[in-house]
Structure 1
């Protein structure tokens, strides 16, 4: 246990099938994610502009999925919603193989994005149920590390299949993705939590955790209390947190939506550099996420998020200062900016999720997480249009806008530091 604690890993006894399900899910996602646009263009013969419209339409039509999923989580429990999200994607990815009609693909893409939007809050709610006291941030950190590793490995396998099989390789990638979702759904659906001994020194460690209800600890099953989104929206502190979630989602999306276009188009640098920057980000997340989550768990969460926002501001300033006319120095600045960017990401992701779960009453937890997902979905809809519009008007404008957004987040988090109860800002950490 000492080594596990040093690495920042949570106690996984009795919960390993859930971890395997996450890895399988991430491998499948990694198989398809790098080829999402190319698949519809190369394998289905659809023009790239039409593919872009399909994906944008799907993103817009899936906006209600997060809030609806939150309501379902509170009514039936997170595990049922998690299984349903995987089964939806089993059906859609299987159907991709058998149709090349654009309007049918729009429906399938929309359904897939609904499954994606149901998945995230369901996972976070399930983790909130099964995690030991004070270790939710560690679980979120481990989940993120495993997902990045799985997506990276899946991407390598997918690249091999596409390079080896051409169009047939694309079909194999889609079929394997459907199989991965089916396997993940089966693992979660059949898992039954047995009594799990708490680690020595854990808060309230008087004996094993006894499962109840939906295979989760007693008292953590969905509470049969009335409440709805009106009650959630009356939580003014949470509305402030939602604003920071939206800002941080834009910051995170800058990596996938903005950085490559900025490096290659706006600065005229070699096309291989963005790939190397993505690799640095992935390796850092896989190797450092859990250890850093453990290192900061003693600090108040709003303060940790403030540090993340400031570090993102520093990284954006570095990106904006990249000298396009000098490839060598430019690469050095980009690498430094990516390291700082990734540290900010490592601090923000598990901390923000743990903060939201800590704020939510048990019977409203799904709704809180559903609104968090809605903020991410809105950012995904807006980011491509806003980032490209700003980039066309000045290479540094997107980074300046993101920096201003982070400054607003710092101010909001300062207020939250004053108004949130101590137990929300920092869970009791095991000795």
Structure 2
């Protein structure tokens, strides 16, 4: 990486961490705020949460092409302004229509920010440094959310609506800080405005190119199953199973969620060292096996109600295992999307993968909540065990379509460097052989004497 690329990447990561810190103040308390503090009821709170997903699904199909046309920087700035307005609107809104509109603005803004930042990280990294860059982003996101949630819990008071206004104002300010930070970034590969509009057929037909890319389509299917089986269950089916079947208290459920965050923060860079030289498809397949063990452990925790301490420990371990799997995916999935994308369609590919994630996050909680509400907990665990095993199968099938450079660019780069070094050495040896053997130092060197003219 060049010095300019490193400086730009540090600014992006700093702004991203501050934004996650601001979101941590509000995310854990959003349902309580809408339902109880604003006294709009649980149904309205559910509509607000659904609005985030709907807003993201509306804007994401168009964001990628705009990023590829105009560059990620102005798109990211626009997203931060939209998110800041939506966040502040949530804090000030007192009626259902205003709360829903503010949630739509916040959801759309966040949906725009995510692929824009991902594209900026791609531009400010190389194929060999990209895994570490995305791992750092994931680490800072979780650290910011965790610290923000802890501080927000100290400031919030359900009997005082103004305390929530302060929380949303902090989140809004952090979005604006992210926008200001991003606006000052000098992207080393930013295209000129006149060059930003695609002129080749591949770039002008982005969705057609993407859907014709079999590897990317398989990765999107894999991503949907992955987000459905993990992130889509945290706040719905798994939480309901923990409270209703394992019989843990809501406070203990908070500890389990904290264990998930702690596992990510503590293990991220240790895991990175273990996976960055491994084939990406094999790493993803291993995550599927780890999550299979996690879901089996969750299911077993519901079968030992007499040993409450053991059941609680098993459920907390379930959340921790999910965190280990997430830390393995952060340096794997996003860099793989970038390496699959043609140079002029990086924004399109990032946006498409974000769209798949949002679909899974919309379907996952709905499916988990319906099965939990019907008491189908055995079928629920069986479904998620099957999904986790499917992750491993899909990952191994995807590996057959990936090139060595897409599977592990770091190892390929090292092999190329080694071959180049051996080639240089071999070339030097050939030159030395053509020059003939050096004279022996023990033999006298005979030189021809020049005879003076005229003698």
Q: Does 1:394 align with 2:376?
A: yes
Deviation, 1:407, is 2.2
User: Could you tell me which of 396, 405, 410 is aligned with 1:428?
Assistant: 410
Unaligned segments of structure 2, at least 5 residues: 415-455
Deviation, 1:224, is 4.9
Which residue does the alignment assign to 1:179? 173
Distance 1:187 1:259, change over 3 A: same
Equivalent pairs counted in the alignment come to 401
Q: Does 1:339 align with 2:317?
A: no
Q: Does 1:232 align with 2:193?
A: no
What is the TM-score when the length of structure 2 is the normalising length? 0.83
Tell me how far apart the structure 2 counterparts of residues 191 and 345 of structure 1 sit (CA, whole Å): 29
Q: Does 1:148 align with 2:139?
A: no
**Match of 1:213, SS?**
coil
Deviation, 1:304, is 0.6
Deviation, 1:51, is 1.8
Task: Check conservation: 1:227, 1:363, Cα contact below 8 A.
Answer: no
Deviation, 1:238, is 1.2
Tell me how far apart the structure 2 counterparts of residues 337 and 157 of structure 1 sit (CA, whole Å): 26
Q: What's the Cα RMSD here?
A: 2.3
Residues 354-408 of structure 1 show CA distances to partners (whole Å, capped at 9, x for unaligned) of 1111111011111111111111111121122210222233323222111212222
User: Could you tell me which of 253, 260, 268 is aligned with 2:239?
Assistant: 260
Tell me how far apart the structure 2 counterparts of residues 350 and 428 of structure 1 sit (CA, whole Å): 12
Which residue does the alignment assign to 2:265? 286
Tell me how far apart the structure 2 counterparts of residues 371 and 86 of structure 1 sit (CA, whole Å): 20
Tell me how far apart the structure 1 counterparts of residues 272 and 198 of structure 2 sit (CA, whole Å): 29
Tell me how far apart the structure 1 counterparts of residues 172 and 323 of structure 2 sit (CA, whole Å): 31
Deviation, 1:181, is 0.6
Tell me how far apart the structure 2 counterparts of residues 15 and 232 of structure 1 sit (CA, whole Å): 27
Q: Does 1:377 align with 2:358?
A: yes
What is the TM-score when the length of structure 1 is the normalising length? 0.87
Structure number with greater Rg is: 2
Correspondence list, 1:127-146, <5 A: 127-146=121-140
Distance 1:212 1:249, change over 3 A: closer
User: Could you tell me which of 317, 328, 345 is aligned with 1:364?
Assistant: 345
Distance 1:292 1:231, change over 3 A: same
Q: Does 1:310 align with 2:304?
A: no
User: Could you tell me which of 85, 109, 125 is aligned with 2:103?
Assistant: 109
**Match of 1:15, SS?**
helix
Q: Provide runs of 4+ in structure 1 moved above 6 Å.
A: none
Unaligned segments of structure 1, at least 5 residues: 1-10, 194-210
User: Could you tell me which of 71, 81, 96 is aligned with 2:90?
Assistant: 96
Task: Check conservation: 1:284, 1:342, Cα contact below 8 A.
Answer: yes
Query: Could you say which structure has the greater relative contact order, defined with CA pairs below 8 angstroms and 6 or more residues apart?
Result: 1
Tell me how far apart the structure 2 counterparts of residues 339 and 157 of structure 1 sit (CA, whole Å): 22
